[in-house]
Amino acid sequence: MSRIVNVIIRAVSVAVIVLMTGILTTIASAQVVKPEQNAENVAAGKAIYDRTCVFCHGAVGKGDGPVAYFLTGNMSPRPRDFTAGVYRFKSTLSEELPADGDLFRTITRGVPGFMPTYSGLVPQQRWQLVYYIKSLFPGFATAEPKPIELGTPVASSMASVSRGGIIFEDLGCSGCHGANGMGDGELAEDLEDDLSFKIVPANLTMLNSLKNGSGKGDIYRTIMTGINGTPMPSFEDTVESKDDVWDLVNFILSLSGSR
């Protein structure tokens, strides 16, 4: 009996190795092509969603998956409720819905600390996810989100950083983020998000913790659009010029020595 089992195990082992080798070497790399938004791709997106997103965002996208409470307890951030149409990380102005590229970017990058990157999905799958997520909120059917224009970045320099530091104070950034950008401003303890969960201001000295991205363009975008559902406002109507915002970006980057 034991000999028979041994023979079977060897045969299975060989078969498995052959199978594995074949499969692993023939997996094709996907092309970066945005597929058409249609029912078929929405359905494909749902299938991916059910395997990957359901644990936090719940079966119907209400942000009520079984991991949601374990993730942060009664603190922000909570998984997005896709049926409410309130999105945080986007390139459109405050009250607008996000552009497709915004959803794609968040899926690709994840949210530092709380949502893993899904760049392990091929781009086509990520687009399909975008389409499925959009299908959960009817407002997307008629929306025409327009990403803001970033303009031309101001090169970082001592002068630019210095101007940015003044703007940082003038706009009241230090109230939440603290004078040194460590997220310890005098208002920091009392902040809540739109769901009344306690929220902690970003520590600007730790760029990799910035949830909306830490590239120059990401920070510019965050300042101009704000982060919906959080105390972080849009400064689009407050700043005098785009160059001021770029100076502020340079200052923020300097807080972590990244300029």
Residue 112 Cβ vs another protein, minimum distance, rounded to whole Å: 5
Question: 126: which residues sit within 8 A by CB, 6+ positions away?
Answer: 104, 107, 108, 118
At position 89, the amino acid (one-letter code) is: F
Comparing CB distances to another protein, the nearer of 117 and 180 is: 117
Comparing CB distances to another protein, the nearer of 25 and 241 is: 25
Six-digit token pair at 121?
């999905």
Residue 222 Cβ vs another protein, minimum distance, rounded to whole Å: 18
Q: Which residues bind another protein (CB under 8 A)?
A: 1-2, 5, 9, 16, 19-20, 23-24, 27, 48, 50-52, 54-56, 58-60, 62, 64-75, 110, 112-121, 208
The Cβ-side half-sphere exposure at 252, using a 13 Å CA radius, reads 29
Comparing CB distances to another protein, the nearer of 75 and 166 is: 75
Q: Which of 160, 189, 90, 159 is nearest to 130 (CA)?
A: 90
DSSP string of 240-258? S-HHHHHHHHHHHHHHTT-
Residue 6 Cβ vs another protein, minimum distance, rounded to whole Å: 8
- Quick check: 252 and 204 in contact, CB under 8 A? yes
Comparing CB distances to another protein, the nearer of 104 and 118 is: 118
Residue 151 Cβ vs another protein, minimum distance, rounded to whole Å: 29
Residue 187 Cβ vs another protein, minimum distance, rounded to whole Å: 19
Cβ-in-10-Å burial (0-12, 13-18, 19+) of 18 comes to exposed
Comparing CB distances to another protein, the nearer of 118 and 168 is: 118
Cβ-in-10-Å burial (0-12, 13-18, 19+) of 41 comes to buried
Instruction: Tell me how far apart the alpha carbons of residues 42 and 36 are, in angstroms, rounded to a whole number.
Output: 10
Residue 65 Cβ vs another protein, minimum distance, rounded to whole Å: 6
Comparing CB distances to another protein, the nearer of 209 and 238 is: 209
Residue 203 Cβ vs another protein, minimum distance, rounded to whole Å: 10
Comparing CB distances to another protein, the nearer of 148 and 195 is: 195
Instruction: Tell me how far apart the alpha carbons of residues 173 and 176 are, in angstroms, rounded to a whole number.
Output: 6
Alpha-carbon dihedral sign for residues 192, 194, 196, 198 = negative
